[in-house]
Structure 1
């Protein structure tokens, strides 16, 4: 019901003819306005709140684990650098694209990636910016990450000449060559920032575009 209250504040939802519930409180409106006007700053805070909630729920079952701990081999842990906000970035990007690859139309979430246009390691300020993201299927994401494909100023698929040697491969041809020059499906919000796409074309795309 709380989510339905928030849905009544979303212009994307209300613009489609749906209404949500009409019980949104002043706090609901305050939260909605905060995320709508400054989503980039709010995403890490939301991710932190989500982790705290998950940790709290896990504590209720810890005693069950203690009962069987003596019969299990100890796990080995390694320190890892956690990418805070990554899940919310993925959720924001996939939702904006209605859980469909903007190139192929693949609509299975397990095969989709919230792909960074400017890589996570190179642009800390835009790591969680949904306009720095594209919803891509796994193979398209890999080609984009390798610089084998990019997108033009009018959001059309551009192939690198390096793909030419694979043109006779039926799967490569079906995935890439049949879509060369076609426009991507743009999201309902968080349209890819042209500055990021220009950077990808100039600094990440390999070789010359295939004509």
Structure 2
């Protein structure tokens, strides 16, 4: 259960619930899961103790101008007020990173309570970036993202905190993380962040096969976890592959050229189905996004150290 994060606030009848837009721009005062800036003169409904869900608007989205929901938190105290422009900076408490970004297609069947969804998203969320929702909506959205990753381990509060730090560090292009943080193993927390980040970059589809069955998708590391601590948070060390392709890639039965073409090993797998699949997709080129495509140095390592020759 993830609701333990917000148990006291959910039991408080004075708690209000919001979806807030946060900018992806590093020049903006917003710092995801740390601070939120807003115009206090026109938006007086936010108070310490209220619960929020983060939304990246279409105009700020990295995903084809499509909005998405990606986390939750509790509002803390105002830490700074600017009388000149009427803005306030409020601290964020108890941040929680979603296990799965909630995209438009994940929300079309969601039973909203605060407002009737009529099939179009235009004007569904308030233009000022702050939309008050119901308690049922808040709980339902947290349940929805968790239901989309049923096999993911339940994390402790310490691990959830590490997942948040992974998100923040990756955005600053800091990719190092140790095996433990204050005696808490990091692998599951990193995997929560890394897995969804890689799948998000590939639009929740396999890089090779026309397969959007998410239960079949794995965020596959190019360089294994134990090899290099300095790149563990780098999503460009990940490729979204179906389970069979992921296993074959990890075991070195195929690799990729710098241009993204499959290169098959001369060593044949013991699994005939794997061999058939690999031969079918021989010379296939993976989806290469300019910003999120695999790092060529990582692909070179895979060719030299993991690929079976």
- 263, 277, 302: which is aligned to 1:175? 277
| Contact 1:157–1:183, Cα closer than 8 Å, also in 2 | yes
1:93-122, CA deviations, whole angstroms, 9 ceiling, x for partnerless residues?
001111111112321121111111111100
| Contact 1:86–1:128, Cα closer than 8 Å, also in 2 | no
The corresponding residue for 1:72 is none
- 51, 72, 91: which is aligned to 2:196? 91
Q: RCO (CA 8 Å, sep 6+): is it higher in 1 or 2?
A: 1
TM-score normalized by the length of structure 2: 0.45
Cα-Cα RMSD:
3.5
Structure 1 residue 91: Cα displacement: 0.7
- 229, 236, 240: which is aligned to 1:135? 240
The corresponding residue for 1:197 is 299
| Contact 1:8–1:14, Cα closer than 8 Å, also in 2 | yes
CA distance in 2, matches of 1:151, 1:138: 17
Q: Give secondary structure in 2 for the equivalent of 1:136.
A: strand
Q: How does 1:74-85 map to 2 (within 5 A)?
A: 81-83=185-187, 84-85=189-190
Alignment gaps of 5+ in structure 2: 1-18, 21-53, 68-120, 131-166
TM-score normalized by the length of structure 1: 0.64
Q: Give secondary structure in 1 for the equivalent of 2:299.
A: helix
The corresponding residue for 2:171 is 38
1:65-88, CA deviations, whole angstroms, 9 ceiling, x for partnerless residues?
xxxxxxxxxxxxxx9944132111
The corresponding residue for 1:23 is 128
Higher strand share: 2
Alignment gaps of 5+ in structure 1: 26-33, 49-78
Q: Give secondary structure in 1 for the equivalent of 2:258.
A: coil
CA distance in 2, matches of 1:203, 1:42: 21
Structure 1 residues 165, 116: closer, same or farther in 2, change over 3 A? closer
